[in-house]
A and B are shown apart, each in its own frame.
Chain A
Amino acid sequence: MSIKVLQPGLLTSMQDLGRYGYQKHGVIVSGAMDAYSLRIANILVGNQESEGTLEMALLGPSLEIEKDSLLAITGGNLSPTINGKVVPMWRPVYVKAGSILQFGVCKSGCRSYLAIAGGCDLLEVMGSKSTYLRAGIGGFQGRALQRGDVLAVNSPQGAILERMEYFKRIHSLESFVPSSWYAGRQPMPHVLRLTTIRMTRGLQFEYFTAESKSQLLNASFQITAQSDRMGYRLSGVNLQLKSPLEMISEAVALGTVQVPPDGNPIILLADRQTVGGYPKIGQVAIVDVPILAQVRPGAAIQFQEITLEEAERLYIARENYIQELKTAIQLKFL
């Protein structure tokens, strides 16, 4: 079973939930920018939540599905079609061998995730299938997909296989069959609309001028074109320290908002470095990182401050929701 890449898209790479445990050796975490969409895509096709999926950005790929498969597409809407017909997202879709899955214009968000039942047959590097582009390791040969690549897919097992057999028997004429239900859809930022992102205070928040602190929470920031998987570079307001701060390097985290001397904040994302020496003015709430990851360059965001307790409560509530969703979806396949 395999997927053949006819057109690779702008940046299509294999990502999972990231490479944990190696940051002390300087190895970045990588993984999906929108981990929420990745997890839901996997749950919808009966995979482990952490299975590797294809992450595609802004301009999606064209793929030939070479064998009968069960797949799910989540995240931003990049207008997916199969053999020219619109494929609904956030649900399992049974696809017949030889079908062409093609992505088109970006209607909402900017990153889409394609999970395939069984997962791709790739060797894990340091416990992860994520592509670490700069070091050239993990994923598919350590790089983004190119035209002509063929990704081997593991055969699905158990209830998922039975479900596929069922689809095969009753829908023999259709090239694809989506389920009637969908699950886990998250609010998706619309192109160029202002998105609110919740954050807690960063470790050096108090070292910034009163004006900068107020602007951080009241002004809007544009995501510049220099943004990538490592971080979103913002422009709009110049954030200034009260006086120069001598800092020595220390760890940074997913969603850390750091401010280099030019005053333009950078939000650190999936491919962030492990340590940094710039003052940290804020920290994006973990639950809002997937939303932020769907805000495309050129669009604007506004920060809203919440307490650490609130950020933690939101995180725990979301984890509980995902577990409930997982149980409900598993029941659907029985």
Chain B
Amino acid sequence: MECSATMLPLGESAVLVEFGGGIHPDTHRKVKAFTEYLDCHCLPGMVEYVSAFSSVTVFYDSLLVKQLHQNHVELKEEPSYRIISVILQKIVTELRIGEGQESRIVEIPVCYGGELGPDLAYVAEYNKLTVDEVIDIHSKGDYLVYMIGFAPGFPYLGGMSEKISTPRRQSPRTKISAGSVGIAGMQTGVYPIPTPGGWQLIGRTPLALFRPNEDPPSLLQAGDRIRFYPISQKEYEEYKREPI
């Protein structure tokens, strides 16, 4: 697969590498291939990167970029954002996008409904389904983690069935507990830390998605595939007491 991208400056400390193509698994593969390259190669002057649906933003230190390319005849008179753009463009054109990269599958236990999923009945009613059908559809889905952001460890997932799509709540809750599994329109996701939010809450996982003392601190990574599976309230509580 051919790969090209547009380099756009996000101020004087970051370049947004835009692959185009919107929210699509093919676009995601390009994003993933590019970040894998960045993970394995030391890019002089780079601080970190953030990957999103169709872009990767590379943060850099312009002073370091300048200093580290002093000996580069063609580039040394250029501003840092030009130097870094030229380097990133070269990486993009040389990227090899594999067809079927194996992705990690993460299984997430969810206790659906009850106190832990107060909006499950509403989601069922809205979609003219039974509660069990909603659980079945949600837990049979195959979800792709497109990106992590908004909160530490929060996954932006693709692949939810239209059959259980439900609009956000009229009035957002002021506090949603960590581990809450929710639906908002065509999206589903898990809140890693307590936060206000307007999503329809259908259940809760005992798994910690944000682990500040581990490396990496996020259970999920862009490119992972996740599956939800139902557990009982008793299993949920046991799991909370003794996490695996």
Contact = CB atoms under 8 A, between A and B. Distances in A.
Is B a genuine binding partner of A? Answer: yes
Interface of A: 20-28, 125-126, 134-135, 137, 200, 203, 248-256, 273-275, 280, 283-286, 308-309, 311-312, 315-316, 319-320
A76 B12 CA distance: 26
Nearest to A127: B215
A24 B12 contact: no
Given A253-B59, A275-B150, A26 B218 contact: yes
B53 A249 contact: yes
Of B11, B13, B22, B148, which is in contact with the most chain A CB atoms at under 10 Å from its CB?
B11
Nearest to A136: B193
Contacts of A26: 148-154, 192, 210, 218
Nearest to A126: B217
Interface of B: 8-14, 16, 18, 22-23, 35, 47-55, 57, 59, 62-63, 66, 79-81, 147-154, 156, 192-193, 195, 210, 212-213, 216-218, 221-222
A211 B222 CA distance: 40
A316 B62 CA distance: 7
Contacts of A275: 50, 52, 147, 149-150
B217 A24 contact: no
A312 B62 contact: yes
B49 A24 contact: yes
A323 B14 CA distance: 23
Contacts of B62: 312, 315-316
A126 B212 contact: yes
A80 B236 CA distance: 52
Contacts of B156: 249
Contacts of A200: 9, 11-12
B217 A251 contact: no
Contacts of A315: 12-13, 62-63
A107 B61 CA distance: 34
B86 to A, nearest CB: 15
A203 B8 contact: yes
B63 A134 contact: no
A319 B63 CA distance: 8
Contacts of B148: 24-26
Nearest to B209: A26
Given A24-B50, A135-B152, A312-B81, A253 B10 contact: yes
B215 to A, nearest CB: 8
Contacts of B23: 248
Nearest to B48: A21
A308 B217 contact: no
Nearest to A319: B63
A323 to B, nearest CB: 9
B201 to A, nearest CB: 19
B111 to A, nearest CB: 24
A311 B62 CA distance: 10
Given A249-B52, A250-B53, A250-B54, 17 more contacts: A24-B35, A25-B153, A25-B217, A25-B218, A26-B218, A27-B152, A27-B218, A28-B152, A134-B193, A135-B193, A135-B212, A250-B55, A275-B50, A308-B12, A311-B12, A315-B13, A316-B62
Nearest to B39: A24
Nearest to A135: B193
A16 to B, nearest CB: 15
B49 A137 contact: no
A320 B67 CA distance: 12
Contacts of B50: 23-24, 251, 274-275
B212 A248 contact: no
Contacts of B216: 22, 25
Contact of B79 (A126, A255, A274, A312): A312
B213 A248 contact: no
A256 B51 CA distance: 17
A284 B217 CA distance: 30
A309 B79 contact: yes
Contacts of B192: 26
A273 B150 contact: yes
Contacts of A274: 50, 149-150
15 contacts: A21-B47, A22-B152, A25-B152, A25-B216, A25-B217, A26-B192, A26-B210, A135-B193, A200-B12, A251-B14, A253-B10, A275-B50, A275-B149, A286-B11, A308-B11
Contact of A20 (B18, B35, B48): B48
Contacts of A249: 52-53, 147, 149-150, 156
A255 B152 CA distance: 20
A267 to B, nearest CB: 12
Nearest to A28: B152
A36 to B, nearest CB: 15
B126 to A, nearest CB: 25
Contacts of B151: 26, 134-135, 273
A273 B152 contact: no
A250 B16 CA distance: 9
Contact of A253 (B11, B66, B149, B152): B11
Contacts of B152: 22, 25-28, 135
Contacts of A254: 11, 13
